[in-house]
A and B are shown apart, each in its own frame.
Chain A
Amino acid sequence: MIYPYIIPSILALSAGVYILGLRRAEKVATYSGGLSELHSLPTHYGVFAALCCAMPALLVLVLWMIFEEKVITSMVAGNLPADLLRQSANELTLVINEVKNVAFGGFTATSGNPAIEKAAVAYMAHLTSARNMVSILVVFCSIIPAWFAIKSIGKDLRARNLVEGAVRIVLFACAGVAILTTIGIVFSVMFEALRFFQAVPLTDFLFGLQWSPQIAMRADQAGSSGAFGAVPVLTGTFLIAMIAMLVAIPIGLLAAIYLSEYASSSLRNWAKPALEILAGIPTVVFGFFAALTVAPIIRELGTALGFTVSSESALAAGLIMGIMIIPFVSSLSEDVIHAVPQSMRDGSLALGATHFETIRHVVIPAALPGIVGSILLAVSRAVGETMIVVMAAGLSANLSFNPLATVTTVTVQIVTLLVGDQEFDSPKTLAAFALGLLLFVFTLALNFFALRVVRKYREHYE
């Protein structure tokens, strides 16, 4: 059973092949009159040989990992007793799952059905022998190319170019994985959302003024009641994000200006990390601070002034969320303000501008693209934040711009829709995907807009 150790073995093998390649290149060099005779450096030949050893083997392994399940399952399914096989495709999956559970000693480690017990034993046997074969194949796929690679090392082998090419492919693959995952996530959300829109018309979702998905679970109301109107959820999101930004932008920006322009370097050296600690506090801690400390204070103050304040209010959540995202604004803005060259400031000061005039007319405009970037990051953080809102602003969707009322946000609704036991094809559950898509479109639009603003500014000034 070398299968569990196959990756470390390949790596160890490649390391050995690297050294062999290196040795061989050095030997070739001595025979043909010095290192300068070689086309590439000895390490290039070593890396080339090691890559020839590791790459095909890993490729085979990855392919096997992808198809293992399918191959084994089809082998086992072929041998199942006829009465089990006669079932519909859906139930066959269940049977196979049961077989696997028995085979791997899952929570139903014993099954009453002897046919399944037998299949499980067969499954294990197939798996073991297949894995042994794959292991042998993988070892061959590393040794044989490595042997050819080492043989081919000569002073004219363009190992450097080959290695550079391989590096490029690896980098490209990594970038590709990142992009493909993003696209994959977007598409999966989009397909689920499309299923939702088959049950609930898009216009009802976008323009409906009432959000009550729990009621809509009843079959007679699904899709027709208008209870899936996203407007109150969106306004709640905007309201809370707005309050948060009203707190975070001024405080964060002014703190950044103070730290980079006025504070002594020793003060900055401890104040900046101290501010950044704010970003490290778990949001749930902010959440109960908002719910247990801030919300009651706001309610008492409001009641004393004669307002009706619910015990969970958008104001409490927004204020605390604003404080939470201050470091996003201040830390990044401080960096970009600090990066404005001293010669700009000198030029302004030498014209007789005061320190603050210099900051206002020269430093801030020069740093504006970065500042906008930091604010954008903070906005996406505010829009995506869930925990504080759940705890401090409540769950009920009110169409209201009153900061003293209970509101809810997109992310909170996604959570409440998906927690607990759910059927994954009811409109109620699918609504979560529609909300997710909406949130995604919203942040994308925000990014796009901000990018445009920054670019326009750049054209104007640089």
Chain B
Amino acid sequence: MDVTASRMTDQIFPIVAVGDSAEAHERMHVRPLDRKTIGSPFVDNPRMMCRDVDVFYGDKQAINKVSIDVGQNQVLAMIGPSGCGKSTFLRCLNRMNDTVSSCRVQGEISLDGIDIYHSSVDVVPLRARVGMVFQKPNPFPKSIYDNVAYGPRIHGLTRDKNELDEIVHTSLIKAGLWEEVKDRLREPGTGLSGGQQQRLCIARAIAVGPEVILMDEPCSALDPIATAKVEELIAELRTQFSIVIVTHAMQQASRVSQRTAYFHLGDLIEVGPTEKIFTNPGHKLTEDYITGRFG
């Protein structure tokens, strides 16, 4: 983990450091025997429910009996050391893991009470309802307009050009990109800067009108100003959508999320209200991670 980030976290949520770092380092590499998640993984009225989710890549287990809820109009932040399975778990929520042939998912994940891995469920409408923004901006090699209009077009959401223009307009406004691109909608989306591309991808995702948005480290390639814009956007989107965000920046998790989940080597160690996780973590591993003892 980034040292400066942890220092800043310390300033926001002063924590009394416990234990010396060598000892903590040792703990890091021991898989906790007790696999029960501590804290409060469940909420009333969940949008999505995950129960005993296991994910395997071939024979290798990447996610181990994870149970958690995604609440309505809430931002859930997922943190944890690199390679602990955050992206893997996130990709289970809209079945993007189906595209990886070696990947196998067990357990139950449901959206509004319907098991999304049931054989009768069609992934195409599911992915329209559960949108995703990737870690690396991946605009299509089309114009800015066509990028945002892509989803509405393939889903036939509009009857005429005016409606489509309207959707593109509002999506770009929501993503905070409209002012910068309103005069160049016909120019290629790949010609934008990295931060603009990421906001374009966010606009593209919300143009479909998803109910849940999954974001995998959406700000990892962005400068502080673009990051602030995306965070503002997340705060605004929360009023309509449910959001799950993976992040390596502690202070970002603390700023944008209501609940935080800490993953470690494929286990979900602790879930709780963000403030509690950062001020008074219940598990040694969580505490070591957020105080920058390892990672």
Contacts and interface: CB of A to CB of B under 8 A. Distances in A.
A5 to B, nearest CB: 59
B201 interface: yes
Interface string A365-390: 11000000000000000000000000
A361 B94 contact: no
Given A349-B99, A350-B127, A366 B141 contact: yes
A447 interface: no
Interface string A350-372: 11111001000110011000000
B150 interface: yes
Interface stretch (A136-144, A308-316, A338-346): A338-346
Interface in B116-151: 124-129, 131-132, 134, 136, 138-143, 150-151
A361 B140 CA distance: 9
Contacts of A344: 138, 140-141
B250 interface: no
B140 to A, nearest CB: 6
A343 B138 contact: yes
Interface string A428-462: 00000000000000000000000000000000111
Contact of B134 (A350, A353, A366): A350
A346 B99 contact: yes
A265 B274 CA distance: 44
A347 interface: yes
B46 interface: no
Nearest to B128: A352
B138 A351 contact: no
A347 B96 CA distance: 10
A348 interface: yes
A344 B99 CA distance: 13
B150 A352 contact: no
A269 B139 CA distance: 31
B203 to A, nearest CB: 12
Given A343-B134, A353-B124, A348 B205 contact: no
B231 to A, nearest CB: 21
B155 to A, nearest CB: 6
Contacts of A353: 124, 150-151, 154
Contacts of B188: 460-462
Nearest to A264: B101
A346 B127 CA distance: 11
B271 interface: no
Contact of B154 (A342, A347, A350, A351): A351
A351 to B, nearest CB: 4
A354 B155 CA distance: 10
Nearest to B155: A352
Contacts of A357: 154
Contact of A352 (B99, B134, B208): B208
Contacts of B124: 352-354
B208 A351 contact: yes
B138 A346 contact: yes
Interface residues of B, number: 31
A348 B96 CA distance: 11
Given A343-B136, A345-B99, A351 B131 contact: yes
Contacts of B138: 341, 343-344, 346-347
A365 B134 contact: no
B64 interface: no
B252 interface: no
Contacts of B150: 348, 351, 353, 361
A350 B141 CA distance: 16
Contacts of A461: 141-143, 188, 190
Given A345-B99, A361-B150, A361-B154, A350 B205 contact: yes
A354 B141 CA distance: 18
Contacts of B293: none
A351 B205 contact: yes
A347 B141 contact: no
B127 A362 contact: no
A352 B142 contact: no
Nearest to A358: B154
A460 to B, nearest CB: 7
B96 A351 contact: no
B264 interface: no
Contact of A351 (B101, B128, B139, B142): B128
Contacts of B205: 350-351
Interface string B174-200: 000000000000001011000000000
A354 B151 CA distance: 11
A285 B101 CA distance: 41
A462 B188 CA distance: 6
A352 B188 CA distance: 22
Given A346-B134, A352-B155, A366-B141, 14 more contacts: A349-B96, A349-B127, A350-B94, A350-B96, A352-B129, A352-B151, A352-B154, A352-B208, A353-B124, A353-B151, A354-B154, A461-B188, A462-B188, A462-B190
Interface of A: 264, 341-354, 357, 361-362, 365-366, 460-462
- The 5 tightest CB contacts between A and B, nearest first, are A352-B128, A350-B132, A343-B138, A461-B141, A352-B127
8 contacts: A346-B96, A346-B138, A347-B138, A350-B131, A351-B127, A352-B126, A366-B140, A461-B143
